[in-house]
Structure 1
Amino acid sequence: MKKTIKEIADWLNIKVLENFSEVIVTGVSIDTRTISSGDLFIPFRGESVNGHKFVEQAFEKGAAASLWLEDEPNPPKDRPILFVKDAEEALQQMARAYRTEHKAKFIGVTGSNGKTSSKDILASMLSPFYKVQKTIGNFNNQLGLPITILSLDEDTDIAVLEMGMSGFGEIEFLSKLARPHFAVITNIGEAHMQDLGSREGIAKAKFEIVQGLEERGALFYDGDEPLLQNLVAGNTKLLSKAFGFQETNDLIGSNIETTEKGSCFTVSGELNGEFFIPVLGKHQVKNALNAMLVGKEIGLSAEQIRDGLAQVTLTDMRMQLVPTEKGILFINDAYNAAPTSMTAAIQFVQSTPLREDRWLVLGDMLELGENEKQFHEQIANDINETEISKVCLYGPRMKWLYEKLKNKFSLENIFYTENDYDAIVQYINEHASERSLILLKGSRGMKLETILKSFK
C-alpha cells in the first residue's frame, strides 16, 4: 500500500491538516513492537492498556502517522494525526476502501480444521505463476483480516485470506469486508461447539462465507460433508463445486500413498491424473483438492497445478516431519486439535509405512463445550491397539481417554500426566528408538511442541 494521508482521510470521510496531507503511508500497525517505517499506527483503548500512550513511541520508530480517538485528551502536536470516533471501525473502513480499489483476485478460506494448511497450499501452488500474498499467522479475525488487506502490495495478483470465527455472524462480517471472488470451506468439525451448540450450527456459521461473494463468485466445499451438501442445495443461485473422496464430488481424490517425502494421489473429475504434495496425511490431500479446484478456476493448467503442488510448504506444526539425533522421527501436528483432525492424524499414523513402532502423544482438545468428556472418550474408538505401540496422554481432559484406553492397552504401553512435559520426555527416552514414529497432537493451549525441545 502506498497512500497519502489525504487519501486515507478521504477513505474515512475526515479532514487532515494541510501541511501533512502529502505524507505517505505504506502499511498499518497496532503494535509498536513490530511497527515498520511508514506505517499508520492504530491505538486501541482497552480496559487495561491504552494504546494512545504508545503513539509517540510509534513515531520514534518510524510511523508515518497515527489515528487518535476524538474523545482521548492531549493529542500530540505537530504530528500527522487522524482523529476518528472508533479505531476498530476506522481500521475496517480503510480495509474496505483499499479492497474496493485493489485489482487482485481475493480467495476466502474458512472451515473447522485445515484453514491454515489450505491457505498455505493455495498460496504455494499459485506462487510460481502469480504474485500471491496470504494471511500471516492467525490474523484472521475482525482486526487481523483488515490488517492483512491493508498489508497487500498494490501489484499483488492474488490474496489468500483465512477467516476464523467463534460465533454466528463473524464469518459473514469478514466475507462482506473482503468480498472474495472464490470461497473455500475446508470441512465441518467440532471446534467452537461450546459457542455454536451443534455441528449444524458450525456448518451454518462457516457457510456465512458466501454472503460476501463477488457477483459470479464461486464456493468450493467439502462434498463429503452432508451438512454442507444440504446448505448448498438450499442456495440454488450459488455457483459451487465439491471436492472430496466420494464419487459424487466434482473433484475426487483416491489411491493415496505415503512416503517420507509426502503424499502421492490420483484425481478424477474436473482434473485427472497423478499428483504429489510434499505433505503427509489424507486430510492434507483433501486440502490440496480444494486448491486444485481454485487453481483450475483461476486458469492454471493441470501441469501448472502439478508443478505448483510439488513446491508446497506449510506453516510449522502441521504434519511436520521432525527427525532427531536419536533417530526418533516425530510428526509435529501440535498447532491445534479437534475430534475430526485428531482422528485424521491418528488414522494416518496407523496406516503409514514410515516406521513400524508407532506412537501417539495426545493433548487435550479445547473449546468442545458440554460434550467434551464424550469427545475425548470417543477417540479411544479410533486407536487400534494392534497398530499403535504406545500412547502418551497430556492434560486434565485426556484422563478420560486414559481410562478408556486401559481396557485396550497393557498399562506399560500407556502413560498419562496432567501437566508434566518432562515425564513424557523421560518415558520417550526410555522406550523409543530409531524405529519409532511419534505423533504430537493437541490443542494450541497444550503446547505439545515443548516436548520436541529435548530431542532436537
Structure 2
Amino acid sequence: MRKSIQDIANWLNIEAGEHGEKIVTGVSIDTRTIKEGDLFIPFRGEKTNGHKYVLQAFEKGASCSLWLKDEPNPPKDVPLLFVEDSGLALQQMARMYRNELKAKFIGITGSNGKTSSKDILASLLSPFYKVQKTIGNFNNELGLPLTILSLDEDTEIAVLEMGMSGFGEIEFLSTLAKPHYAVITNIGEAHMQDLGSREGIAKAKFEIIKGFDSEGVLCYDGDEPLLRALIEITPQLRSKSFGFQQGNDLMIREIETTEKGSRFIVDGELNGEFFIPILGKHQVKNALGAMLVAKSLGMSDEQIRKGLEQVSLTDMRMQLVPVGDVLFINDAYNAAPTSMKAAIEFLQSTSMRKDKWLVLGDMLELGDKEQQFHEELARYIDENRISRICLFGPRMEWLYHKIAPRFSGRILHTKDDYGKIVDYIKQHADKDSLILIKGSRGMKLETIINTFNK
C-alpha cells in the first residue's frame, strides 16, 4: 500500500491536517512490530491504552497515527488523524482499499481446517500468481482488515481466513472482503456453546456467501448434509462440492500415505493421481477445496498437480518432528471432535511405524456436551492398533475413565503436568514409536515436544 495521509483522510471522511502529503505504506496496531511508514492505530482497552504508545510509534518510524477524539492531550507536531472509533476506522480503511484492489479474493471458513486449507491454496497458486494470505490467526473483525491493508497493490490473489464465534461475524467479514470464491471446509462442533447446535454452526459458516456478487462461487464439503440442505434452499448460488461420497463434483477415490505425504486419486472436475507432502486423510480433503478454486480460476490439471507437490503448512498441523529415535506428529495447534477423530483415524491406519501413541489434550469451547464429546472419542480408539495413550487436562479425565479398562498398564492421565508425560515417553518410546500430539490451543501440548528439544 502506498497512500498519502490525505488519501486516508478521504477514506475516513475527516480532515487530514497539515501533513496530508506524507506517505503511508502500511498499518500497525503494535509498536513491537511496527515498520517505517506505517499508520499506527491505538486501541483503548480494559488493561491498556494504546495512545500512550503513539510517540513510541513515531520514534520507530510511523508516518501517522490515529487518535480518538475524546482522548485528552494529543501530542503536538506529529501527523494525527482524529477519529471517533479506532476499530471502525480500521474497518473503513480496509473497505476502501479493498474496493481499489484488482486482486481475486478467496474467503475460507469452517469448523476445522481453515488454516491448513488457506496454506494449501496459497501454496498451490503461488507458482502461477502473486499470492498473499492471512498471516497467523488474523481472521476476525480486526485481523481481517489488517490483512487486507497489508496487501500489495499488485497482488493477484488474496486468500483470507475467516473465523467466528457467533452469528453475524462471518457475514460482516464477507461483506468487507467481497470474496470472488469461498470455501467451507466442514461443519464440526467448535463454538457449540455460542451457536447451540451443528445446524447453527452451519448457518453461521454459510454467511460467507453474503459478500458474493452474482458471479461468486462456493466450494463446500459435500459430505455434510447440513451444507447440502443450505445449498438446496439457495438455488441462485453457484457452488461446487468436494468429498468422499458419490455425487460430489470432486471426489476422492483412493489415498495412499507414506512418510513423505499423501498420494490420492480423484474423479470429477479433475481426474487422476495427485500428491501433497502432508499427512492425513482430512488434509487430502482440505486439498480438494483448494483444487476446485484453482480449477475455477482457470488452472489446468497439470498446473494444479505441480502446485500441490510444493505445498507446505503452518507449523503444528500434522507436522512430522523427529526427536532422537522417536517420531512425533505435532498436530497441537487446535482440536475439536471432528479433527480429533480424523487424526486418530490417520494414526491407526498408517504403516509408518508400528508402535503408535496418542497424546491427547482437552478439547475446549464445546458447551454443555463437552463430557459427551470427550467420552465419545473412546469409540474411535482401537486398543489393538494403539500401543499407549497419554491424556492431558481435566476434561480428558472423562475419556480416561471410559477407556482405561481397555488399556490397563498402557495409559496415563495428568491434569496439568507435562513432565509426567515427558517422563513416560522417555521410559517407553523407542525407534519404532510414532507419537501423535493433539489438543486445543489452550492446552499447549507442543510443550511436550519442545521439552525434548531443549
Counterpart Cα distance in 1 of 2:254 and 2:208: 31
Counterpart in the other structure of 1:414: 411
Residue aligned with 1:284, SS: helix
Counterpart Cα distance in 2 of 1:215 and 1:151: 27
1:454 shift after superposition = 2.7
Confirm or deny that 1:57 pairs with 2:62.
no
TM-score (norm 1): 0.99
1:406 shift after superposition = 1.6
Counterpart Cα distance in 2 of 1:122 and 1:277: 12
Deviation sequence 1:108-161 (CA, Å, 0-9, x none): 000000000000000000000000000000000000000000000001000000
Counterpart in the other structure of 1:15: 15
Deviation sequence 1:35-84 (CA, Å, 0-9, x none): 11110000011122111111000000010100001111111111111011
Counterpart in the other structure of 2:337: 339
Letter in 2 for 1:262: G
Counterpart in the other structure of 1:80: 79
Counterpart Cα distance in 2 of 1:383 and 1:421: 22
Counterpart Cα distance in 1 of 2:30 and 2:345: 41
Counterpart Cα distance in 1 of 2:198 and 2:419: 36
Counterpart Cα distance in 1 of 2:183 and 2:173: 14
Letter in 2 for 1:54: Y
Counterpart in the other structure of 2:156: 157
How many residue pairs end up in the alignment?
Answer: 453
Residue aligned with 2:256, SS: strand
Counterpart in the other structure of 2:27: 28
Counterpart Cα distance in 1 of 2:289 and 2:451: 37
Counterpart in the other structure of 1:89: 88
Deviates more, 1:343-352 or 1:70-79: 70-79
Counterpart Cα distance in 2 of 1:354 and 1:69: 58
Counterpart Cα distance in 1 of 2:106 and 2:185: 13
Counterpart Cα distance in 1 of 2:356 and 2:47: 47
Counterpart Cα distance in 1 of 2:147 and 2:156: 15
Counterpart Cα distance in 2 of 1:208 and 1:274: 33
1:35-50 alignment, distance < 5 Å: 35-50=34-49
Counterpart in the other structure of 2:383: 385
Counterpart in the other structure of 1:322: 321
Letter in 1 for 2:437: L
Residue aligned with 2:407, SS: coil
Which ranges of structure 2 fall in alignment gaps of 5 or more residues? none
Residue aligned with 2:159, SS: strand
Counterpart Cα distance in 2 of 1:91 and 1:348: 42
Letter in 2 for 1:346: I
Counterpart in the other structure of 2:356: 358
1:455 shift after superposition = 2.3
Letter in 2 for 1:421: Y
Which ranges of structure 1 fall in alignment gaps of 5 or more residues? none
Residue aligned with 2:65, SS: strand
1:407 shift after superposition = 2.6
Counterpart in the other structure of 1:403: 401
Residue aligned with 2:235, SS: coil
Counterpart Cα distance in 1 of 2:175 and 2:399: 41
Counterpart in the other structure of 2:107: 108
Residue aligned with 2:219, SS: strand
Counterpart Cα distance in 1 of 2:443 and 2:70: 41
Counterpart in the other structure of 2:209: 210
1:189 shift after superposition = 0.2
Counterpart in the other structure of 1:123: 122
Confirm or deny that 1:146 pairs with 2:130.
no
Counterpart in the other structure of 1:439: 436
Counterpart in the other structure of 2:219: 220
The one of 351, 369, 372 equivalent to 1:371 is 369
Deviation sequence 1:147-184 (CA, Å, 0-9, x none): 00000000100000000000000000000000000010
Counterpart Cα distance in 2 of 1:47 and 1:445: 22
Runs (4+) off by over 2 Å? none
1:253 shift after superposition = 1.0
TM-score (norm 2): 0.99
Counterpart Cα distance in 1 of 2:16 and 2:412: 64
